[in-house]
Amino acid sequence: MVHFKPYLVYLTLFMTCLFNCQETETHSDFKMPGDHTIAGLFPIHSVDDEVRLRPEVTLCGRSKTFNGHGYHLFQAMRFGIEEINNSSSLLPNVTLGYELYDVCSKSSNVYATLSVLSQPRGNHIRFPENVFNYYPKAVAVIGPDSTELTSISASLLSTFLVPQISYEATSMMFSEKQKYPSFLRTIPSDKHQVQMILMLLKKFGWSWISVIGSENDYGLQGVHLLEDLANQQEICIAYKDFVPILAQAADNTMQNMMVDINKFGAEVVVVFCNKRLARVFFEAVVLGNVTDKVWLATEDWSISSYITQVPGISRIGTVIGIAIKQRQVLGMKEFEEAYAQAKNTSEASGGPAQDRGDHTCNQHQALTANANTELSQFSMNAAYNVYAAVYAVAHGLHQLLGCPSGVCTPGKIYPWQLLAEIRKVNFTLQGNPVSFDEDGDPVSGYDIITWDWNGPNWTFKVIGTSTWYPVFLEIDGTKIHWHREENQVPRSVCSQDCLPGEARRIVGLHHCCFECVLCAAGTFLNSSDQYTCQPCQKEEWSPEGSQTCFNRTTEFLAWDHPVSLVLLGANTLLLLLLTGVASLFAQNLETPVVRSAGGRMCFLMLGSLAGAGCSPYCFLGEPTLLTCLLRQSLFALCFAVFLSCLTIRSFQLVFIFKLSAKMPALYHTWVHNHGSRTFVAVSSTIQLLICSVWLVAWTPLPIKEYKRFPELVVLECSKENSPGYMLSILYTWLLSVSCFACTYLGKDLPENYNEAKCMTFSLLFYFISWIGLATSSSIYNGKYMPAINMLVILSSLSGVFSGYFLPKCYVILCRPDLNTTEYFQASIQDYTQRCSSP
């Protein structure tokens, strides 16, 4: 709250040294007494402030330029107050008075504001210690119209918390309540107008625009806000300029502006100018032959006949504008006609003259000569704003004076009390709601209009409407007559839209100018960011040029897969065969065939093959820690045991038949120290140590593999080709080669002991299988890799099983005559004779 030191400052409003004029008789058209007075500030005449050598008030009545628009606003306030005074429901026993001022210039506006703030009895302003105790001549002020005049009056009136309701000042700076606490308005703020302009641009897809503003508060602030918000909406301003205050259509500045508008190529031009400078601008547009554009108009000139009267303006293109919602003040036209008729009658009967002399500073000029000015829709909209402001003050007084009880309480009221009530008003006026938001702005909306030229005649059509509580824009585009062939909507973009899945790469300074780049596989173009190809999540994938990501398919070899079922059947059959052979050998353990095959060692060999045969089951289903540990290590260890047995059995036959006679001491030592068992134990232990180091140092763990296939998540075990695994395979191959060598050395042994052919075939099949696995791993790493591993293991086991055990089973089951001691002795004798013969 504002407090002043206890001192008095007197401002003499009519001092000759300040204003160079003297007080004269007040005209009844401008002043009417009442219980509570409302002041009105209206531009009834139009003059430009000149540079003066001393302070003085512009004499509005001396101006030859009558402002018909301001005249209608003046009459709207008089009509509203007379209507309220004649009402039985609103302020029933209270009379409103008014003091109206012609504010044709800054100096006259200052004069009017100080006059309003002066004491009811006296021409001075007293600055009180407490602003709550100040009582000026008027309890509220309606007007003025422009931003420049309003900023002056609002600064003064806000000091004393005198309610001020403007009907045409749209600058958003007045919404700052800390600077202008007592300011309200019945016309929307430019902030909402800019938002609607941007929504229009988005509606038609215009992202490359030119912006022209007037070089005053209205244009500068509007263009600045438009520029800020346009960047957020991905709208680029190709060209921006301002119409100077003293510009002329034909001067170099304006014609250079026309050249630049054409040069930058934007098809849409936003013109954020007041009426006067908008007319200068469009005169330059016609003179510069700038045609075939879309012109977006602000509410200040969108339906103003002052602009449409520019010669040749019908050729400039399509005009779409923001306009105050169309309102009518019912009865106002008849009120003005009655006023004009009364004035004409008064003059005919010798009434008072309009002007009392050029030497006076009379602000209250008679309006007889111009009373018949046309009431256009533009003026009617503004007149409704004045009319609504008067009723807002009346409704505030109605509440403050306790009128809802039926009888208004008379007495003095202070402006700050009335301000609090006006801010809370919420009523319907001729079917239209009237209220204010927290910033003192009306809760209203705009009409969207377009110019319509029917031959030489101009009119406008309402093509849509908008609100901002909530934000809403609706347009019927079929009502717009575009200036292009076939009535096509013009495009105003710097670069054509990219195809789906193509990101924009900015070229130059503006983000609206770009080239299109196809998004790579594994990335996608999000609709919220058209400039960056964003990577998909780890569990997602996308093809090239995608606008979304897809969930990856989890891949592993399931138990119920047909390939799995075939391999499971074959592997289970092999294990059953191993079990059957073990049973058969157990029943024929003491027969020559079983004894020659290794005797009890055969069970170790069959058991190791069965253990190795369990490893394929670990390749099926989702990998777990246990299956990852066993799937390769179990086979490597068990198969090494089998190869150790097979190697030592082959070596032992060669040793017995070929070296025992030559090295009896070595053979005796070998047998005495259980050489075969020792070799198998040592060889198996070596492989066990290799596998242990492998599983500890390079522990295979279940993992999800993402890199191999973009659309798949392959469940597998890690480090499947680790150095430990390769070392175990290398050792297995060493045993295989040793076994093959021993078998080859015994190729000339007795037939019952000669297994060179079968073992050669079995080991070659083993080598080929693992070479095939290595080749497959180098060219394929997909879903069926576990099946390939199973197939290799199964083929290796089947090969050595078939090559070693099936022939012996055949002899036992089908040729019992060959499974006798006599047959084996005869075979040995035959081998001995062949070796001893020269």
- The Cα–Cα gap between 128 and 114 comes to 16
Burial class (CB in 10 A: 0-12, 13-18, 19+), 797: buried
pLDDT class of 746 with cuts at 50, 70, 90: low
Q: What CA–CA distances, in Å, run from 377 to 69, 205, 474, 758?
A: 10, 30, 22, 111
- Look up tokens 């309610």; give the residue: 163
Q: For 338-369, how does the pLDDT look when each residue is reduced to its tens digit (9 = 90+)? A: 888 877 776 556 554 444 434 333 434 445 54
Q: What is residue 576's predicted lDDT score, i.e. its pLDDT?
A: 93
Q: What is residue 180's predicted lDDT score, i.e. its pLDDT?
A: 93
Lowest mean pLDDT among 347-351, 560-564, 643-647: 347-351
Q: For 133-161, how does the pLDDT look when each residue is reduced to its tens digit (9 = 90+)? A: 888 889 999 989 888 889 999 999 998 99
Q: What is residue 1's predicted lDDT score, i.e. its pLDDT?
A: 40
Lowest mean pLDDT among 17-31, 292-306, 368-382: 17-31
- DSSP character at residue 406: S
Structure tokens at 263: 């040069």
Between CA 691 and CA 694, with CA 693 as vertex, the angle to 5 degrees is 60
* Homologous superfamily of 190-328+444-487: Response regulator (3.40.50.2300)
Reported as half-sphere exposure (CB side, CA atoms, 13 A), residue 595 has a value of 7
Q: For 605-626, how does the pLDDT look when each residue is reduced to its tens digit (9 = 90+)? A: 899 999 999 999 998 889 999 9
CATH of domain 562-829: 1.20.1070.10
Q: Which CATH architecture has domain 16-188+374-431?
A: 3-Layer(aba) Sandwich (3.40)
pTM of the entire predicted model: 0.63
- The Cα–Cα gap between 17 and 24 comes to 17
Mean per-residue pLDDT of the chain: 83
Q: What is residue 17's predicted lDDT score, i.e. its pLDDT?
A: 37
- The Cα–Cα gap between 690 and 683 comes to 11
Alpha helices in 655-722 (DSSP H): 664-672, 675-697
- The Cα–Cα gap between 596 and 602 comes to 10
Percent of the chain with pLDDT over 90: 36
Tell me if residue 191 falls in helix, strand or coil. helix
Q: What is residue 361's predicted lDDT score, i.e. its pLDDT?
A: 37
Q: Hey, CA dihedral for 295, 299, 305, 310, is it positive or negative?
A: negative
Q: What is residue 226's predicted lDDT score, i.e. its pLDDT?
A: 94
* Res. 835: pLDDT tops 60: no
* Res. 19: pLDDT tops 70: no
Q: What is residue 395's predicted lDDT score, i.e. its pLDDT?
A: 96
Q: For 212-270, how does the pLDDT look when each residue is reduced to its tens digit (9 = 90+)? A: 999 988 899 999 999 999 988 889 999 999 999 999 999 999 999 999 999 998 999 99
Q: What is residue 22's predicted lDDT score, i.e. its pLDDT?
A: 35
Q: For 55-91, how does the pLDDT look when each residue is reduced to its tens digit (9 = 90+)? A: 666 777 665 578 888 899 999 999 999 999 999 899 9
- The Cα–Cα gap between 237 and 706 comes to 45
Q: What is residue 53's predicted lDDT score, i.e. its pLDDT?
A: 52
Percent of the chain with pLDDT over 70: 84
Going by DSSP bridges, is the β-strand pair 96-102/36-42 parallel, antiparallel, or unpaired?
parallel
Q: What is the mean pLDDT of residues 708-729?
A: 85
Going by DSSP bridges, is the β-strand pair 712-717/702-705 parallel, antiparallel, or unpaired?
antiparallel
